[in-house]
A and B are shown apart, each in its own frame.
Chain A
Amino acid sequence: MAKKILVADDDPSIVDSLTMILEEEGYSVFAISKNNSTVVEVKTTKPDLVLLDIWIDKQDGREICQKLKNDGKTSKIPIVVISASDGAARMAIEAGADDFIAKPFEIDELLTKVQKNLS
């Protein structure tokens, strides 16, 4: 059974390209472009991993991490944060995210981190 990954990003082009790459690797991907529905979406789809893109100045990423990690139903789902800013990444890790990928990244790096956090 293919592992389920939820990809959340503001930008449709990132969501689309990530979906393409991950599906190619045999994952089953759910994509959402609106952060505010991320928590609900995670609860309904119960993915094996969440790939969360957060913006530098937005608190949403941190809030989402906190909500997911504080909820018993979702707290065990690994969250990998993608961000262009170091500061945002640290904030996310502090809020409970499991790993972090800095933009721009190579496909190999992405896949390695995904695999690592799934196992």
Chain B
Amino acid sequence: MESSIYITSLVFALVVNTFLAVYLIRTKEQSVALLSFVVFISLISVWGYPQFLINTFNIQNYIYTYLDKISVLGYTFIPVAFLVFTLAFTDRINSLRNFQNVLFIIVPPIIFLYLSWNTNLLEYHSPEYIVRTLWGISSPASTYFLVFLIWFETVMMASLVILIKFLIKTHNVLKRRQAFWIIAATLIPLIVGSVSDGIMPAFGKINFMPMAIPLTSIMGIIITYAVLKHDLFEFSPTSIMSSIGEGIVTIDDKGRIIFANEPAIKMLKTESKNLLGKFYHDIVKLRTEDGKVVKLSERPFNKALREGESTLGNYYVSGKNLRKFPVVMTVTPLIKNRKSIGATVTFRDVTKEKEIETSKDEFISIASHELKTPITALKLYTSHLERQLEKKGDLEGASALSKINYQTDRLLVLVGSLLNVSKIQTGKYTYNMSKFVAESIIKDAILTLRPITKGRKVLVKGSSKTVLYGDKEKLVQVLTNFITNALKYSNREIVVSIKEDKKYVTISVRDFGQGIKPSEVKKLFEKYYRATKDTTTQGLGIGLYVSKEYVIAHKGKIWVDSKLGSGSTFSFSIPIS
């Protein structure tokens, strides 16, 4: 009677396990966790089916030997599969990179399998003999088997501990629910099994029915429930990361690659095996945008590892068999217990964006050149005509032409500033360095702006006869930009001042206009930026950007102090060499 219950439960469990394995492998996304789990439940079947055959048909002959060997094979590797599954599920699969760990997991079952197949050392390897030995009841059970059993339980318990720790720590709700079901499935058989097979014999009930097989199968059934009900293998982080369009590479604290998603592998034109375990800095070389190789100590991943610092930047990536390509790269440290234990590098190929940017800059450059020629011709014709009319005494005509001339000049200034931006962008700018007296910048700027400052009060305060070394024309342009802006944004007088200290000559332009919001101050020096909602004043929003570039090229500083309602002061300072 007892035997028939045992066989029924065994058959039921094995059938469920078989279906589960087939179901999982056919319908679910492939992952290490899933595959190891399928192997785990398949091993239960490999263990169980021969037992079922032996018990049902009471097989005694040579077939018994083979069936028994197969059964032992299944039994032996169950903990290995379960541990691998646990590690994969809890994202700790990398601990298998440690050789000692692998030895501990793989060597005992291999030795055990060898001994049980080839010697008679393990002749009495059924659990009841072991239990007898454990409880001091004499039995011929093999010490080898005892050692193996301790290993078996240790691995299973270790897996369980890993799962429980994971359950407590994880913030991933889905994963927590899944972990709960896996633990429930593992704990129930473990407790029931150890009571029935381990403790009961101590009270003299030795002729028990071994419960291990049906219990292990129950474990499979509970996990099946969790799979179907709670999508046990859905949304694994690895699969999510593979579906992200950006390249993701994770490195450990030594700088070795421990993870690379599909887009990263594709972008680096390699295979997973050529990345994992290799040093990241050997595989991926970085250059800055101006082509300089980024030194190892300056690499963003190094900063992330040493200082726990996140960085975002534009680089060129190159490597073996890899043509360099531009990327936007973010490197974030992985922090554990306030220490960097690794870093995650995210990067996106921006070749297309770069091409668009370059062709845009080229377009602006060509367009402004092409524009400059006809405007210059236009200006020559109108100036010529103006002079002619003046000579003839046609003052009305001459005045109209003078206005046309003025507008032509404005067009030329606009085209000129577009050209300047494109020159800065394409790095074609040349600086004509010379020595000059600091305050001559102000004189020149005011002279240039005479037509625009007509009727406006421009006060000059201070003087500086210090000799500076730089591109005077460009610095005059910076000041011209400041003054033009001040005139544009306020109706009152403006004050141009110059002062110097030991290190710098500083030139400022103060206006009494509406002032600038603090939130906008930072953006002022960006390309194409114009004060928001300001549609009345003219300009392309490049004057201050160009000014900033010019001043930086002189190793100087440029800034603005502004108070909403009471005006702004734009300043730049140039170092005295």
Contact = CB atoms under 8 A, between A and B. Distances in A.
B383 A107 contact: yes
Interface string A76-119: 00000000101100100000000000011011000000000000
Given A11-B377, A20-B381, A56 B432 contact: no
Interface stretch (B239-247, B366-374, B437-445, B556-564): B366-374
B276 interface: no
Given A86-B432, A104-B412, A13 B369 contact: no
B536 interface: no
Given A86-B430, A107-B387, A14 B381 contact: no
A17 B384 contact: yes
B430 A104 contact: no
A55 B376 CA distance: 14
Nearest to A108: B383
A21 interface: yes
Contacts of A21: 380, 383-384
A14 B377 contact: yes
Nearest to B368: A84
Nearest to B384: A21
B409 A104 contact: yes
Contacts of B419: 84
Interface in B372-395: 372-377, 379-381, 383-384, 387-388
Contacts of A87: 428, 430
Interface string A3-45: 0000000010110111011001000000000000000000000
Contact of B372 (A16, A86, A103): A103
Interface centre among B369, B373, B388 (most CB of A within 10 A): B373
A111 to B, nearest CB: 10
Contacts of A20: 380-381, 384
Interface string B168-209: 000000000000000000000000000000000000000000
Nearest to A91: B430
A33 to B, nearest CB: 12
A103 B430 CA distance: 17
B376 A14 contact: yes
Interface residues of A, number: 19
A106 B473 CA distance: 18
A86 to B, nearest CB: 6
Nearest to B405: A106
A40 to B, nearest CB: 25
A9 to B, nearest CB: 9
B384 A107 contact: yes
B381 A17 contact: yes
A13 B432 contact: no
B380 A107 contact: yes
B-side interface mostly: helix
B404 to A, nearest CB: 14
B430 A13 contact: no
Contact of A14 (B380, B388, B432): B380
Given A86-B432, A90-B432, A104-B412, A14 B383 contact: no
A84 B380 contact: no
A104 B374 CA distance: 11
Nearest to B430: A87
Nearest to A15: B377
A119 B373 CA distance: 29
Given A104-B409, A104-B412, A106-B383, A17 B430 contact: no
Nearest to A102: B473
A73 B372 CA distance: 35
Nearest to B375: A104
A16 B369 CA distance: 19
Contacts of B387: 24, 107
Given A86-B432, A104-B412, A24 B384 contact: yes
Nearest to A87: B430
Contacts of B369: 55-56, 84
B430 A18 contact: no
A84 B430 CA distance: 13
Nearest to B372: A84
A16 B380 CA distance: 10
A43 B246 CA distance: 65
B380 A17 contact: yes
Interface centre among A14, A24, A103, A104 (most CB of B within 10 A): A104
Interface in B420-468: 428, 430, 432
Nearest to A107: B383
A18 B379 CA distance: 11
Contacts of B376: 14, 84, 103-104
B473 to A, nearest CB: 8
A55 B246 CA distance: 44
Contacts of B381: 17, 20
Contacts of A24: 384, 387-388
Given A17-B384, A107-B384, A11 B373 contact: yes
Contacts of A103: 372, 376
A94 to B, nearest CB: 12
Contact of A18 (B372, B375, B380, B409): B380
Given A13-B373, A14-B373, A104 B379 contact: yes
A13 B381 CA distance: 9
A13 B377 contact: yes
Nearest to A13: B377
Nearest to A84: B372
Contacts of A84: 369, 372-373, 376, 419
Interface of A: 11, 13-14, 16-18, 20-21, 24, 55-56, 84, 86-87, 90, 103-104, 106-107
17 contacts: A11-B373, A13-B374, A14-B373, A21-B383, A21-B384, A24-B387, A24-B388, A55-B369, A56-B369, A84-B376, A84-B419, A86-B473, A87-B430, A90-B430, A90-B432, A107-B380, A107-B383
Given A13-B374, A16-B377, A87-B430, 13 more contacts: A11-B373, A11-B377, A13-B377, A17-B381, A20-B384, A24-B384, A56-B369, A84-B372, A87-B428, A90-B430, A90-B432, A107-B383, A107-B387
What 9 A-B pairs are tightest by C-beta distance, nearest first? A17-B380, A13-B377, A107-B383, A87-B430, A104-B412, A11-B373, A17-B377, A21-B384, A104-B376
